[in-house]
Structure 1
Amino acid sequence: MDLKFGIIFLFQIVIGTMGNFSLLYNYMFLHFSGYRPRPTDLFLRHLIVANSLVILSRGMPETMEVFGKEHFLDDLGCKFVFYLHRVGRGVSIDTTCLLSVFQAITLSPGNSIWAHLKMKALKYKGPSIILCWVLHLLLTIRLPVLITDKRNKKNFSKTIDFQHCSVMLPENNTGTVFAAMTLSHDILCLNLMIWASGSMVLILYRHKQRVQHIHRQSSSRSSPETRASQNILALVSAFVFFYTLSSTLHACFTLVDKRALWLISSTPIISAGFPTISPFILMSHECSVSRLFRKK
């Protein structure tokens, strides 16, 4: 069973890392080659970086542990790995949320209540992404205090053991407060994603109904805006699916005292599911990466 999970971990790291870095390389190559990216590409580049952090920070330790490299992370290594994972996960959630909301505002018709936000969305997309990184770098700074290697368990009454590190839960209620804040943040982002996705579906459906009788012969080829929206809808759908499944497993992991091997091993696999498949979702909706760009 350990070997099977180790192979899955290794496969996920190789495929996910290659997919994310290949897509990021093509974005950067086309950018420096004089191509003008679409407005959403800034979000996608940061999403790729955040997803790569999630895959490497969670997958590499799990893989090495499964293949017999026990206790290779010391106390500082555990703190660093978990810190990177939480920052990458938080930025991934926020970037996906911003991406879906930005595209919904961009697609909104000129007579809607969101029309006046189009220029502001373009102006503040860069600062909003920077704010996401800074926010999670600061909010996650408390996590290393609770993370340690398995050999250090003093001054804590309850411990959640992972395969290579441990999370020490203090006796006071500060952990519950931070967990509630994190959960509230995640729920807010999910609600915004679902609202934005529903808005995009409705806008695209109405647009198709209006122009169907005009461009009946050319309806087989979708517009760039439609393809971009389908991209984002696919990303959001995959994110909601993997996040819901991951949250369910994390709840079981936290509440159950005696944890089965499949639960311990499958939790990081599901957590890295969206970062692994997201670059392939992007590439599958475009014939090539260069079609995401328009020549200056």
Structure 2
Amino acid sequence: MKLQAGIGLSGNSFLLHFQVLKFIRGQRTRLTDLPISLLALIHILMLLVMSLVASDIFMPGKRWSDSTCKFLMFLYRSFRSLSLCATCLLSILQAITLSPRSSCLAKFKCKSPHHMLGCLLFLSIFYSSISSPLITYVTAKPNLTSPGFTYITQSCCLVPMSHSVLHTFYTLFTLRDVIFVGLLAISSAYMVTFLYRHKKQSQFLHSTNCSLKSSPEHRATQTILCLMSFFVVMYTSDSVISYFRYSSSDIILYFVVILEGHSYATVSPFLVLSTEKHVTHIWKCCGRTVDI
């Protein structure tokens, strides 16, 4: 657990530092640079909160108070929602970047960073407004065990909910996930279609100038598609396993949920960095130095 958090924090910190240096040096920025920077910052904070939650699950010490449980669970849910919204925004912006000038999406290419932040804020508020009421059911674990409580950590649990309330929450969560994953699927399908058409055109023209390898935008798109695919797989499996976790107190299942639920935050910065020429050049130089 500590190893995963350490790798994730290192990768996201390096990615954020790299994006800040690009801005300071005045390098040409892309439409996706801001959401990538925000995603790295969100994942840093999320992994820090995850470390606190995991410490209470696997290394219980002093019990948390009711307010501490509510606050940490609120942060945990908030950063997860921000991660999903920033990932969704990143996919949409990359699809806009690829769109031709004749497309209706082209007019969004010149939008300022304030519009992106506003869009991210809107998506996050919409997402959080659905899951935030669940925080009111979080409380400190009672001294006596009760079969009606659902235990989240050693210190925190969910109070019993009526069947109608529970059914309402699951319906809203499912609808919310369908909307956001649907946006990811639509933007990803658009990018796959564009790359396929571009490949057909390059094969028809037999021109090396039109090669997909020569375009940074296409390399970035392929990486973001891998990122989206990995996110959807991890998010779906995490949702399924989390459902069974709330009906079980098995410590191994808790470990699997924490490990899988934060795999995306750990792996994503390295996928993004793999598209940056300056970073890959440094890695190659370091690899040659080690060989020597």
Instruction: Normalising by structure 2, report the TM-score.
Output: 0.83
Taking a change above 3 Å as real, the CA distance of residues 34 and 120 of structure 1, as seen in their structure-2 partners, is: closer
- The one-character-per-residue Cα deviations of 1:254-294 (angstroms, maximum 9, x if unpaired) are 3x4x4433212211111111111111111123233599xxx
Matching residue's letter, 1:261: I
1:111-126 alignment runs, 5 A limit:
111-119=102-110, 124-126=115-117
The equivalent of 2:202 in structure 1 is 211
**Higher-RCO chain (CA-CA 8 Å, sequence separation at least 6):** 1
1:167-246 alignment runs, 5 A limit:
167-171=158-162, 173-212=164-203, 213-216=205-208, 219=211, 221-246=213-238
Match of 2:150 among 155, 160, 163: 160
The equivalent of 2:264 in structure 1 is 274
Matching residue's letter, 1:272: H
Correspondence 1:287 to 2:277? yes
Matching residue's letter, 2:269: P
Secondary structure of the 1:81 match is helix
The equivalent of 1:89 in structure 2 is 80
Percent sequence identity is 29
1:45-56 alignment runs, 5 A limit:
45-56=37-48
| Alpha-carbon separation, structure 1, partners of 2:113 and 2:57 | 45
Correspondence 1:260 to 2:244? no
| Alpha-carbon separation, structure 1, partners of 2:206 and 2:114 | 34
Matching residue's letter, 1:206: R
The equivalent of 2:91 in structure 1 is 100
Secondary structure of the 2:232 match is helix
Taking a change above 3 Å as real, the CA distance of residues 152 and 187 of structure 1, as seen in their structure-2 partners, is: farther
**How far does residue 176 in structure 1 lie from its aligned partner after superposition?**
3.0
- Aligned pair count reads 279
What is the CA RMSD across the aligned residues, in angstroms?
2.8
The equivalent of 1:25 in structure 2 is 17
Taking a change above 3 Å as real, the CA distance of residues 53 and 136 of structure 1, as seen in their structure-2 partners, is: farther
Secondary structure of the 2:214 match is coil
Correspondence 1:247 to 2:245? no
- The one-character-per-residue Cα deviations of 1:199-231 (angstroms, maximum 9, x if unpaired) are 101101211221342523773733021022112
Matching residue's letter, 1:210: Q
| Alpha-carbon separation, structure 2, partners of 1:218 and 1:114 | 22
Correspondence 1:40 to 2:35? no
CA contact (8 A) 2:212 2:219 kept: no
Q: Give structure 1 regions of 4+ aligned residues with deviation exceeding 6 angstroms.
A: none
Taking a change above 3 Å as real, the CA distance of residues 39 and 113 of structure 1, as seen in their structure-2 partners, is: closer
**How far does residue 115 in structure 1 lie from its aligned partner after superposition?**
4.2
Secondary structure of the 2:159 match is strand
**Please, which runs of 5 or more residues in structure 1 have no aligned partner?**
1-8, 292-296
Taking a change above 3 Å as real, the CA distance of residues 60 and 122 of structure 1, as seen in their structure-2 partners, is: closer
Taking a change above 3 Å as real, the CA distance of residues 142 and 289 of structure 1, as seen in their structure-2 partners, is: farther
Secondary structure of the 1:166 match is strand
Instruction: Normalising by structure 1, report the TM-score.
Output: 0.82
- The one-character-per-residue Cα deviations of 1:184-213 (angstroms, maximum 9, x if unpaired) are 111111122112112101101211221342
- The one-character-per-residue Cα deviations of 1:36-70 (angstroms, maximum 9, x if unpaired) are 3211011111212222232222233213542x333
**How far does residue 11 in structure 1 lie from its aligned partner after superposition?**
0.7
69-78 vs 192-201, greater mean Cα deviation? 69-78
Match of 1:75 among 59, 66, 73: 66
Secondary structure of the 1:148 match is strand
